[in-house]
Structure 1
């Protein structure tokens, strides 16, 4: 599921500020990066399955590996994990309403915070 018109698409932020903000909202980057891209994930485990809110971005300036980069964010995604194959983000997937609501709320909070942060 794509969260189009989330307010995050195209937003640019400094990597360390973005890391702090995402961590404060429960999204982790951990090993999900290379020198040009980052991925932040929030895991939702429930009876219906395991779901991930994923916010990705890519470096428009600097180098992620050095910890000094400006990241441009992409459209947030919600996916369902299928063992052992991985996470599916397709339009045919069904998601619990509470996961969708919580994801929308987190995206809005992140978007609102980023609007007040200058590069």
Structure 2
């Protein structure tokens, strides 16, 4: 599921500040990066299902590995994990409305915090 028109896509922010904001919101980068791209995930376990809110970005200045980068965020995604195949983000997936609401709230907080550090 894509979260379009959240205001998150197209935001640009310094990587160090982005890491801090994402950590505060429970989104983890861990080893999900290369020199040009970065991915943050927040895991949700609801009953026996596992879901991930994913926010991706790419360096428009500098590089991720050097920790001196400006990152442009992309359209956030919500996916469901299927063992052993991985995460599916398709339109045919059904997501609990409480999860969608919680994800929208997190994305709204992300937008507010990034705009605050950029002003």
Give the structure-1-normalised TM-score: 0.97
Q: How many residues are paired up?
A: 119
The reply to whether residue 76 of structure 1 matches residue 79 of structure 2 is no
1:1-119 equivalences in 2 (<5 Å): 1-118=1-118
Please list every run of 5 or more consecutive structure 1 residues that lacks an aligned counterpart in the other structure: none
Could you say what secondary structure the match of 1:3 adopts? coil
- RMSD of the TM alignment (CA)? 1.0
How far off its partner does 1:48 sit? Answer: 4.8
Give the structure-2-normalised TM-score: 0.97
How far off its partner does 1:114 sit? Answer: 1.1
Q: Is the 8 A contact 1:59 1:72 kept in 2?
A: yes
Could you say what secondary structure the match of 1:117 adopts? helix
Runs of 4+ in 1 over 3 A off after TM superposition: none
Q: Is the 8 A contact 1:56 1:75 kept in 2?
A: yes
